[in-house]
Amino acid sequence: MAGKWVRMVTAQTPTNIAVIKYWGKRDEALILPVNDSISVTLDPAHLCTTTTVAVSPSFDQDRMWLNGKEISLAGGRFQSCLREIRSRACDVEDEEKGIKIAKKEWENLHLHIASYNNFPTAAGLASSAAGFACLVFALAKLMNAKEDQSQLSAIARQGSGSACRSLYGGFVKWIMGNDEDGRDSLAVQLADEKHWDDLVIIIAVVSSRQKETSSTSGMRETVETSLLLKHRAKEIVPKRIVQMEEAIKNRDFASFAQLTCTDSNQFHAVCLDTSPPIFYMNDTSHRIISVVEKWNRSEGVPQVAYTFDAGPNAVMIARDRKAASLLLQRLLFHFPPNADTDLNSYIIGDKSILQDAGIQKKEDVDALPPPSNIKDDIPSHKFRGDVSYFICTRPGRGPVLLSDKSQALLNPETGLPK
Ligand code: DP6
């Protein structure tokens, strides 16, 4: 096995947004949740992690680079994922390169890992979900592990809970499971991304100066102090999960939207019920909720659902393209870009929604009329600069291998970042 060969695999994995939230663990080390959760996978074209994993007899330790910067792999979560996946490694034979790795050799071989997010990490969008899912998926391919996606999801779960839901595209359920060892706490796909392809997703990345409480410590404090969480996990979520599965199956947008908004609001209520209370949403988040609620009410049937994770960013799911373009007009009316921000960097992702909304240039934003449901006696305030930018996207596919060698993040000769 001596020699200077390097074997590499590159994968791309999406991020996901929960519509029924995971909040609270019953086991901190294994990352076992107190309730089931359901998510929508986001299109990797706009939000994803790309990871290259490499193995070589010339590597003398496990190393990892995130967005070009070397980071430590010493943390328990990385170590759990690496240990779990190594224990499932199988024989690998690459005839083309003349490489043969026997199952038992994997425990002595070191890995290099390079990971890159196609969205700003500072934006507070779930980067750990896509990151751990991609790490586990890529390593499983490198090591020829025979596990299926659900079994891999149970490994990714040990990196970050929400990561287990990024092993599938479309609509995904994380089943909390009962076993103490966590083997039945895994993700399953409810429907793929084509099942409900009318949906359009608009994310408002909200400007924030506040340092947020991490999900991990926030949920620990909630478990320790909130009675509302106990009620939520025991009485509310089990029923909501059934209703949400039904809404997704029937593409029933009215129920889907009602359940999504209510569950997001209950998650934030549970944060407020924590001692000391945790605030993730800010004034801008609340204003966005008002805009959507008012519009939904004036239309009589819901046009848009909103949901917020552990931060102020709003994820809005519109029933179709028409609703999405009307939503974008409303959002741009209330939250126009700063003078020094151009439209092209203010709306990113699938820009065709902007065309549908009839907005080609920044002047078109200033010319937008006040949304029609605003009565004359209510001032239609503008909050310029309170949103950093918007991302237009849609439900997307699960992890894929990238066979194009030019997309690898590590040099095929040295195994070091390119
Ligand atoms: C609010 O998965 O980030 O996004 O398991 O401690 O890594 P750890 O937490 P994490 O929590 C995500 C919480 C959430 C809701 C959700 O994604 O379901």
- Based on the fold, state whether residues 95 and 31 are members of the same structural domain: yes
Domain span at 58:
7-196
Residue 408 lies in a domain: no
Residue 398 lies in a domain: no
ipTM reported for the complex, 2 dp: 0.99
> Is pLDDT above 60 for 64?
yes
- Based on the fold, state whether residues 210 and 151 are members of the same structural domain: no
190, 245 in Cβ contact below 8 A? yes
- Based on the fold, state whether residues 129 and 253 are members of the same structural domain: no
In the predicted model, what is the mean pLDDT of residues 394-415?
96
- Based on the fold, state whether residues 207 and 227 are members of the same structural domain: yes
Ligand 1 atom nearest residue 163's Cα = 2
In the predicted model, what is the mean pLDDT of residues 173-199?
97
Ligand 1 atom nearest residue 37's Cα = 18
CB 216 less than 6 A from any atom of ligand 1: yes
Listed residue (127, 102, 122) closest to 42, CA to CA: 127
| pLDDT confidence bin for 323, thresholds 50/70/90 | very high
- Which of 196, 229, 244 marks a domain boundary? 196
211, 331 in Cβ contact below 8 A? no
CA of 321 to the centre of ligand 1 (A): 29
171, 38 in Cβ contact below 8 A? yes
The CATH number of residue 171's host domain is 3.30.230.10
- CB contact set of 87 (below 8 Å; sequence gap of 6+): none
pLDDT, tens digit (0-9, with 9 covering 90-100), for 22-63 = 999 999 999 999 999 999 999 999 999 999 999 999 999 999
Ligand 1 atom 7, closest CA: 160
pLDDT, tens digit (0-9, with 9 covering 90-100), for 78-96 = 999 999 999 999 999 988 8
Bridge partner residues of 50 (DSSP): 12, 116
> Is pLDDT above 70 for 374?
no
- CB contact set of 263 (below 8 Å; sequence gap of 6+): 19, 20, 21, 240, 307
Cis upstream peptide for 276 (omega within 30°):
yes
- Which of 161, 180, 196 marks a domain boundary? 196
Ligand 1 atom nearest residue 161's Cα = 5
pLDDT, tens digit (0-9, with 9 covering 90-100), for 140-180 = 999 999 999 999 999 999 999 999 999 999 999 999 999 99
- Based on the fold, state whether residues 238 and 192 are members of the same structural domain: no
Ligand 1 atom nearest residue 219's Cα = 6
CB 162 less than 6 A from any atom of ligand 1: yes
Residue 192 lies in a domain: yes
CB 160 less than 6 A from any atom of ligand 1: yes
CB 40 less than 6 A from any atom of ligand 1: no
Output the CA torsion 43→46→48→49 (10° steps): 160
CA of 311 to the centre of ligand 1 (A): 11
CA of 221 to the centre of ligand 1 (A): 14
Most distant CA pair in the chain: distance in Å?
A: 79
pLDDT value for 123: 66
Residue 216 lies in a domain: yes
pLDDT value for 212: 79
pLDDT value for 127: 75
Residue 415 lies in a domain: no
| Mutate which of 162, 172, 217, 285 for ligand 1 pocket (most atoms within 8 A of beta carbon) | 162
| pLDDT confidence bin for 380, thresholds 50/70/90 | confident
CB 35 less than 6 A from any atom of ligand 1: no
- Based on the fold, state whether residues 53 and 111 are members of the same structural domain: yes
pLDDT value for 1: 47
pLDDT value for 297: 95
Average pLDDT along the chain: 94
CB 128 less than 6 A from any atom of ligand 1: yes
pLDDT value for 411: 97
Residue 418 lies in a domain: no
Residue 329 lies in a domain: yes
| pLDDT confidence bin for 372, thresholds 50/70/90 | confident
CB 21 less than 6 A from any atom of ligand 1: yes
pLDDT value for 331: 97
| Mutate which of 16, 165, 203, 215 for ligand 1 pocket (most atoms within 8 A of beta carbon) | 215
- Based on the fold, state whether residues 263 and 126 are members of the same structural domain: no
Residue 271 lies in a domain: yes
CB 31 less than 6 A from any atom of ligand 1: yes
CA distance 251 to 242: 14
Ligand 1 atom 6, closest CA: 216
Count structural domains, the chain. Answer: 2
- Based on the fold, state whether residues 188 and 244 are members of the same structural domain: no
pLDDT value for 227: 98
Listed residue (309, 306, 267) closest to 288, CA to CA: 306
- Which of 196, 218, 233 marks a domain boundary? 196
- Based on the fold, state whether residues 221 and 262 are members of the same structural domain: yes
For residue 41, give the 3-state DSSP assignment: strand
Ligand 1 atom 5, closest CA: 161
- Based on the fold, state whether residues 30 and 163 are members of the same structural domain: yes
CB 397 less than 6 A from any atom of ligand 1: no
CB 185 less than 6 A from any atom of ligand 1: no
In the predicted model, what is the mean pLDDT of residues 364-389?
80
Bridge partner residues of 155 (DSSP): none
Structure tokens belonging to residue 372: 């029609």
Lowest mean pLDDT among 180-194, 198-212, 314-328, 374-388: 374-388
pLDDT value for 183: 95
- Based on the fold, state whether residues 22 and 171 are members of the same structural domain: yes
- Based on the fold, state whether residues 177 and 204 are members of the same structural domain: no
pLDDT, tens digit (0-9, with 9 covering 90-100), for 199-235 = 999 999 997 776 778 999 999 999 999 999 999 999 9
